[in-house]
Amino acid sequence: MNAARFALRGVVKSYPGRGNGGTAALAGIDLDLAEQRVTALTGRSGAGKTTLARIVMGFTRADRGSVRYRGRPLEEAPQRRFRRDNQMVFQNPLLACDPLFTVARVIAEPLRALRLAHDGSETLAVMEEMELPPALLGRRPAELSGGELQRVALARALVLRPGFLVLDEPFSALDDLTALRLVRLLKAACRRRRLGALFISHHRRHIRELADGEAVLERGRLIAAPG
């Protein structure tokens, strides 16, 4: 049961306007992201991590090479189904939160957006999983701590019952204790739900706790692949 969910081959991506002869953000990436495994992605700032994450999520197209999703070209994946099954979590949880929405609305928004039936029980279940007390349901994002807000963002990502998460430095804005607590909550959720993930992080301890393998990017090239 370790088939690749995502298989990248020869993926190249350049951005315009980076000067003549500028190196590509991704310069030929071969990478498999297995089902039900957490793959850490590390590397210096500017190495291409976010670009790779965006390509996996289908937010950015590669210039060259192929990205296959469950054995078929990613661009042929049915959009709605893909959005349900693959969710992204950002470093800044405010990106996932409309400041005018209550916590209840923020978490249920993916269900609403896909017009899926929901009665509030789904929201409560993922809040409990992320150890968010129901008393927070009526709060607005600005009334939450950074850790609470990121737990709301994780709950929101889980509410559609995805099979894969792409996490772009989700804990790097948090203090050490809060971050470690979230790493453990996320780890438990991954185990319970048999989730796979691409986990961008610089934090050795978090990677050790959460990841099954590690890929290292350096200037657009993979210098270590997950085992």
Residues of this chain that interact with ligand ADP (CB under 6 A) are 15, 18, 25, 43, 45-51
* In the complex, minimum distance from the CB of residue 13 to ligand ADP, in angstroms, rounded to a whole number: 8
* In the complex, minimum distance from the CB of residue 44 to ligand ADP, in angstroms, rounded to a whole number: 7
Q: Which CB, 20 or 45, lies closer to ligand ADP?
A: 45
Here the tokens at position 67 are 């990205």
Q: Which CB, 158 or 207, lies closer to ligand ADP?
A: 207
* In the complex, minimum distance from the CB of residue 48 to ligand ADP, in angstroms, rounded to a whole number: 4
* In the complex, minimum distance from the CB of residue 216 to ligand ADP, in angstroms, rounded to a whole number: 11
Give 71: exposed, middle or buried? Use CB within 10 Å, 0-12, 13-18, 19+.
Answer: exposed
Q: Which CB, 106 or 167, lies closer to ligand ADP?
A: 167
SS3 of 66-86: the string is EEEECCEEHHHCCHHHHHHHE
3-state secondary structure of 11: strand
Q: Which CB, 9 or 202, lies closer to ligand ADP?
A: 202
